[in-house]
Amino acid sequence: MSISAQSVKELREKTGAGMMDCKKALQECSGDQEKSLLWLREKGLAKAHKKSGRATTQGFIGSYIHSTGKIGVLVELKCETDFVAKNETFLELAKNLAMQVAATTPLCVAPEDISVDVLEQERQIYTQQTRDEGKPENIIPKIVEGRIKKFTQEVCLLEQPYIKDDSKRVKDLITETIAILGENIQVGRIIRLCLGEDAG
């Protein structure tokens, strides 16, 4: 079917995708804007996973200071090129991630960053709690693993529900941005300062 230039323009404005990609999406979805948007998103996310191994040497340090002036956050957000590092969508992501860290106080960026000692300590606590609840010994390990998974989702930035849309996790938000910008994006370091708290 024939796709108008206006339809392509509208879809491009909504998604940030290339003109040819937008045209192909509209052709595949019989001109339906919403279906085309979903089609592009699915294709983009598939591409995003392929980009996840590429080197990230550029980026931006996002910051957030709470209105009270008592909480401050720095987030190192990395990408592949200086061009993307200056892109509004990328800068917005850095700002939103800093706000996320301020609101949720993650211990680390990803599950693999949690120390073995911390995990073992939590496992022992959950095991004792589950035992105290009177659960049968044979199902305690399964319950404990479920609680460890929940703990990981709470303390790892990438696994947390996104504060502006809890239907997605922070890592999903980053993957969507990779799909839009076409570059690998990674969170480096996070620093959260709270007035009066001991940094150690």
132 located within any domain: yes
> What pLDDT score was predicted for residue 108?
94
pLDDT averaged over every residue in the chain: 87
Question: Which pairing describes strands 71-79 and 58-65: parallel, antiparallel, or unpaired?
Answer: antiparallel
Identity of the residue numbered 121: Q
> What pLDDT score was predicted for residue 125?
93
Q: What SS3 class is residue 131?
A: helix
Same domain, 144 and 188: no
Q: Is 191 exposed, middle or buried (0-12, 13-18, 19+ CB in 10 A)?
A: middle
Same domain, 87 and 128: no
Same domain, 125 and 102: no
Domain ranges, residue 140: 115-154
Same domain, 27 and 105: no
> What pLDDT score was predicted for residue 12?
74
Separation of alpha carbons 25 and 35, rounded Å: 8
74 located within any domain: yes
Q: 36 or 163: which carries more pLDDT confidence?
A: 163
200 located within any domain: no
Same domain, 165 and 106: yes
- Range name among 31-40, 136-145, 188-197 with the lowest pLDDT average: 31-40
> What pLDDT score was predicted for residue 143?
93
The model's pTM: 0.67
- For the segment 86-112, the average pLDDT, to the nearest whole number, is 95
Same domain, 18 and 81: no
Same domain, 179 and 94: yes
pLDDT tens readout for residues 46-71: 555 556 666 778 999 999 998 888 99
* Cβ contacts of 60 within 8 Å, gap of 6 or more: 77, 79, 85, 86, 90, 91, 94
CATH of the domain at 139: 1.10.286.20
75 located within any domain: yes
Is a pLDDT exceeding 50 seen at residue 200?
no
Same domain, 82 and 148: no
Q: 157 or 45: which carries more pLDDT confidence?
A: 157
173 located within any domain: yes
Which of 17, 36, 51 is the last residue before a domain boundary?
A: 51
199 located within any domain: no
Domains identified in the chain, total number: 3
Residue 108 DSSP label: B
Backbone φ and ψ of 163, nearest 5°: -65, -25
Same domain, 88 and 186: yes
Which residue carries 């931006």 as its tokens? Answer: 60
Same domain, 92 and 133: no
Supply angle C-alpha 181, 186, 192, rounded to 5.
125
> What pLDDT score was predicted for residue 49?
58
Separation of alpha carbons 26 and 40, rounded Å: 9
> What pLDDT score was predicted for residue 161?
95
Same domain, 92 and 63: yes
Same domain, 101 and 142: no
